[in-house]
Structure 1
Amino acid sequence: MSFISALDAFQKWEKNTPNLPFLHQNIHGEKLTVTYQEAGEQARKMASAIKGLGIEEGSHVAILSKNCSHWIMADLAILMAGCVSIPIYPTTDKDTIKLILEHSDSKAVFVGKLDDYASQKEGVDAVDIPRIGIEMHGVNEQYGWDELVKKNQPLQEVFKPKSDDLMTILYTSGTTGNPKGVMHKYGSVEFAVKEFEHHFSLPKNPRFFAFLSLAHIAERAAYEFIGLYLGGSIAFPESIETFPANLAEAKPHMFFAVPRIFQKFQESILKKMPQNRLDFLLKLPILNSVIKKKIVGALGLQEAVSVISGAAPISPDLQHWFKKLDLDVNQGYGMSEDVCVSHMNFPGQNKIGTVGQKYDHIQTKLSGEGEVCLKSDCLTLGYYKEPEKTAELFDEEGFLKTGDLGEYDHDGYLSIVGRVKDQFKTDKGKYISPNHLELPLSDNPDIEQVCVVGTGIPQPIALIVPSETGKELSQDALRASVESSLNSLNPTLPNYEKIAKAIVMKEDWTIDNGLLTPTLKLKRNNLEKIHQPYYSEWFSKNDTVIFE
């Protein structure tokens, strides 16, 4: 269906199918459903409230919240008022919140569902702008959502955007340095949705389950924007604890997740049914299909037209494992700067181990160094207030420089072989890209996270965080498991890439301790700062597997 913008799409559904379910909020064990008409009424009243606060058209308004119905309604209200939305990751610390609010020139901020707002509030309060709290989620602020909705009449003349109008500024998750504000216009979103619609045959009024942060463009494009264009409904999990039950109830038609989620799915399945028993049952012709349907149904993915993994490389072994259950996990590739529309393993065309083929209207090339470069109508306008960094983002032909090293096969499938900035040099003078060394190690179900490093030592070493199953093993058993993975991998590598040691970490790498981004990518710079002083000491030890 053709719309001028996501805002235009919403208004069509609001008018033509007012009673169509739109948002499903799980809270206190109940599911609260908001129709398109009800969401429109609240968003329009909030748009009036925004204007009533003296916030002019074109101003920037931030959203700090986990995924919830009010996140979507706040975004709609911001756009209806002709403002630019500034999503902030809900796990952002107070100092970074202050930095983003100031840098983005935000004139107001919505504060919604959060795990620990008390620790973040100082960052919000540090900027003198109106604060609108969502009472449903226990946030009492200068203004309340319910209070403003009661006081205001629905905005009738909703902003009518042009294709080149700025729609949103998305702050990157900050794998290196401070977050940068990625600017996107309405036309970029329209282009992205059309590219997606061409390749994915979702049913009418599809169901979505939004659990990764909507502050990330992939989740927002996949669920909010595509959902609005297709008249979809969006369900939100209540908590980590209720996530499995909420997903099983939602039965989404499309499911997008990061690799760690699929690892967790695998762990939960194998806890209930060990691998040997699963293998045995799958060999029985009568039970084979029953077991597959039961497992996929328990996950809530039995009606999924497409299951997508992105944001980080997924292990091919993990993809093959799910394929045996008739669950095709299709890896895609993109970034905030291109609305995540770049390459995809499209339904029925999945080549495991690659990130797929390019979308139809994308131009691609590899630089002399092998860096993947892209050009399309959904590229960012640049980084907000960062002209020098914006200039560095594009080459002389206007192609976006992704920072990823890639290789194409004869069928046009792209494989990402590393990051330009992740390369390190051993003291033998050899440059190594760690990506292709980490993936095989992550195939081991006893290993949750891997970071291969080697600056200043003769050979690479692997820093490892055990999985839940790995932590349950004795130290000797875990050592044997890790050694087995190294012994399988090293013979396939040239001598200078062979991994000399594996260091088992004491603590997990998390968002809270600053070692993962909000999108669960490793912050390699932070890991290096903490651990690099010990590389030589670890390398000199006799043991192959060392416990920190």
Structure 2
Amino acid sequence: MEDQAKSTDATALAAFYRRERLHPEKTYLVQPLPDGQVQNYSWGEVGAQARRIASYLLSLDLPPQSHIALISKNCAHWIVTDLAIWMAGHISVPLYPNLTADSVRQILEHSEARAVFVGKLDEWASMRSGVPQDIPRIGLPLAPDDPDLLTWQALLDAHEPLPGTPSPEPDQLATIIYTSGTTGMPKGVMLSFQNMYFSANNCLRLFNISDQDRLLSYLPLCHVAERQFVEIASLLAGETIFFADSLDTFQRDMQRARPTVFFGVPRIWVKFHLAVISRVPPRLLDTLLKVPVLGRIVGRRVLEGLGLDQIRYAVCGAAPVADSTMAWYQSLGLNIAEVYGMTENCGYSHLGRPKRYKKGWIGLPNPGVECRLSEDGELLVRSNGTMQGYYKEPEKTAETITPDGFLRTGDIGEIDNEGFLRLTGRIKDIFKTSKGKYVAPAPIENLLSAHSRVEQVCVVGNNLPQPLALVQLSEAGVHEAGENRQQLARSLAALMEEVNAVLARHEQLSCLVILEDSWTVENGSMTPTLKIKRNVVEATYQDRFEDWSVSGKHVVWQAEG
């Protein structure tokens, strides 16, 4: 792997040139359009457009390796733009497509962006004031109508394709990814072409991916998981990428793509599960799945309905996943491998092996990954995927990377004698009760999430006598609450008692609080990869924690508590 890293061929851009040369007519990107049709882009067409946009960028006469921003939801031209930036010898700085104007301004100023590409967006009108007036603004084909945006087609018409195959050195900076973060100001993670190639190339070997595989891109491409698992992996392996148009069309997009490889965060896998059991009673489905022969047929039908029947490899990552979720998919005949990684190491650290599954454990270190535990139980990892550092923040870089090159993950973990990893919580998430006892919320949340009427959970308890759980109901739970609240309350109270029975005394919950509010990306309660922002959720309800905890009820309803 080290020998490969010394060659300019060992970059995602060089891999694209090979694909462009080998099969220029093969479909690479499949983009749904507003009218319900789709537009296919071949490898040759992607290359032709990227080369013309690269020529435009070179015409700006910017210093080499300038920072070029990209703000867009996932679409075909997100990838075309990324390639063009690299072809022109610059560094891409992707931004999440749902940021506020202040957040956009903060990142663009911190990164010293010299131009910005604007693509498919829902809230551009509220974001545009965050873009400095003195830098070029280029609109992708699906960009909002805005006279200040240079049009994509006009640039294609005005510039000849960049000739040759300009290639960066592997150790050159490729991108700065600003972490979505569950707390605080995002940090700019600097990843080189070598970092990205090492991570994606080794993952392809683990999964045996080929150019016959299909992907559905729906998680933000500016997040390291989608960037590596979809964009960079497709450049190396030649997979076809289908894009999801919106949440409303997600099921139709899944059916169109019939992905053979699929990455989902836990919330997505839970939503699929809840969608099924909202139509079929869980007990009936479980009974049918246990019947020999019939169970396999039923499981296959369920997967077909979800668009998951062609899956060869299913992966879950970005947050802890409940054992019950994994087990449910296993009952359908779909084995999900859990993956663990961070932006700071290109998402490349540990992976569950399909033939070496161990309940409750993530999996083994990936090839080329070294790991160890610190004295306080923090997981430390080292590989060629480790970032170059945080942009403009050498002190934070030094705090995060040890002198011998290990990345401090911030996760508390355990490693068994076979090398399997289990995480028990984030250092920053662990809280201390008023009795002086420390509690890790994630394992408790996973236990509560096993209930079919529970969609999201946040366990809190800092300076409280006992923790309590803030609960959002699933769609089926909301329906049941409207039909028979007392019955649902009894079921949830039984859940709490069941969970408390397996917890240490200081971890046991005082109550479950059923919230009517929604936690969404739009209201700032969740990250773009659907992880709860604990600081935001806690700040929203903390004035009521004490009243809820001493209510004497197992289940407290927000409107009544």
TM interval, shorter chain, is over 0.9
- Greater displacement, 244-253 / 165-174: 244-253
Correspondent of 2:353 among 340, 346, 352: 346
Q: Which amino acid aligns with 2:224?
A: I
Q: CA deviation at 1:523?
A: 1.0
Q: Which amino acid aligns with 2:545?
A: Y
Correspondent of 1:239 among 238, 246, 251: 246
Question: Could you state the TM-score of these two structures normalised by the residue count of structure 2?
Answer: 0.95
Secondary structure at 1:39 match in 2? helix
| Distance in 2 (alpha carbons) for counterparts of 1:393 and 1:9 | 31
Fraction of identical pairs, as percent: 40
Correspondent of 1:509 among 500, 509, 519: 519
**Judging changes above 3 Å, is the alpha-carbon distance between structure 1 residues 283 and 521 closer, same or farther for their aligned structure 2 residues?**
closer
Correspondent of 1:22 among 15, 20, 28: 28
- Greater displacement, 246-255 / 476-485: 476-485
Q: Which amino acid aligns with 1:320?
A: A
Correspondent of 1:497 among 482, 502, 507: 507
Q: Which amino acid aligns with 1:218?
A: A
Secondary structure at 1:235 match in 2? strand
Map 1:207-286; keep pairs closer than 5 Å. Answer: 207-286=214-293
Secondary structure at 1:473 match in 2? helix
Number of equivalent positions: 547
Q: CA deviation at 1:127?
A: 5.0
Counterpart in the other structure of 1:62: 69
Map 1:83-482; keep pairs closer than 5 Å. Answer: 83-124=90-131, 126-140=132-146, 141-474=148-481, 475-482=485-492
Q: CA deviation at 1:349?
A: 2.4
Secondary structure at 2:480 match in 1? coil
**Judging changes above 3 Å, is the alpha-carbon distance between structure 1 residues 360 and 473 closer, same or farther for their aligned structure 2 residues?**
same
CA contact (8 A) 1:202 1:253 kept: no
| Distance in 2 (alpha carbons) for counterparts of 1:456 and 1:260 | 29
Q: CA deviation at 1:287?
A: 2.5
| Distance in 1 (alpha carbons) for counterparts of 2:290 and 2:10 | 52
Q: CA deviation at 1:286?
A: 4.3
CA contact (8 A) 1:446 1:481 kept: no
Is 2:491 aligned against 1:484? no
Correspondent of 2:15 among 9, 34, 40: 9
Is 2:533 aligned against 1:523? yes
| Distance in 2 (alpha carbons) for counterparts of 1:427 and 1:399 | 35
Write the deviation string for residues 7-44 of structure 1: whole angstroms up to 9, x where unpaired.
01111111121101100001121111000000100000
Q: Which amino acid aligns with 1:8?
A: A
Q: CA deviation at 1:522?
A: 1.2
**Judging changes above 3 Å, is the alpha-carbon distance between structure 1 residues 527 and 14 closer, same or farther for their aligned structure 2 residues?**
same
Counterpart in the other structure of 1:50: 57
| Distance in 2 (alpha carbons) for counterparts of 1:516 and 1:149 | 38
CA contact (8 A) 2:11 2:193 kept: yes
| Distance in 2 (alpha carbons) for counterparts of 1:107 and 1:278 | 56
Q: Which amino acid aligns with 2:110?
A: H
| Distance in 1 (alpha carbons) for counterparts of 2:21 and 2:438 | 59
CA contact (8 A) 2:201 2:233 kept: no
**Off by >6 Å, runs of 4+ in structure 1:** none
CA contact (8 A) 1:201 1:305 kept: no
- Greater displacement, 68-77 / 156-165: 156-165
Q: Which amino acid aligns with 2:377?
A: G
| Distance in 1 (alpha carbons) for counterparts of 2:487 and 2:306 | 30
Name the Cα RMSD after superposition. 1.5
Secondary structure at 1:484 match in 2? helix
Secondary structure at 1:403 match in 2? strand
Q: Which amino acid aligns with 2:209?
A: L
CA contact (8 A) 1:98 1:127 kept: no
Question: Could you state the TM-score of these two structures normalised by the residue count of structure 1?
Answer: 0.97
Is 2:545 aligned against 1:535? yes
| Distance in 2 (alpha carbons) for counterparts of 1:56 and 1:35 | 31
Write the deviation string for residues 263-315 of structure 1: whole angstroms up to 9, x where unpaired.
11111112232222212322433422222222112222222221001011111
CA contact (8 A) 2:525 2:533 kept: yes
Q: CA deviation at 1:505?
A: 1.5
CA contact (8 A) 2:118 2:143 kept: no
Q: Which amino acid aligns with 2:180?
A: S
| Distance in 2 (alpha carbons) for counterparts of 1:356 and 1:535 | 37
| Distance in 2 (alpha carbons) for counterparts of 1:70 and 1:203 | 23
| Distance in 1 (alpha carbons) for counterparts of 2:343 and 2:89 | 22
CA contact (8 A) 1:252 1:301 kept: yes
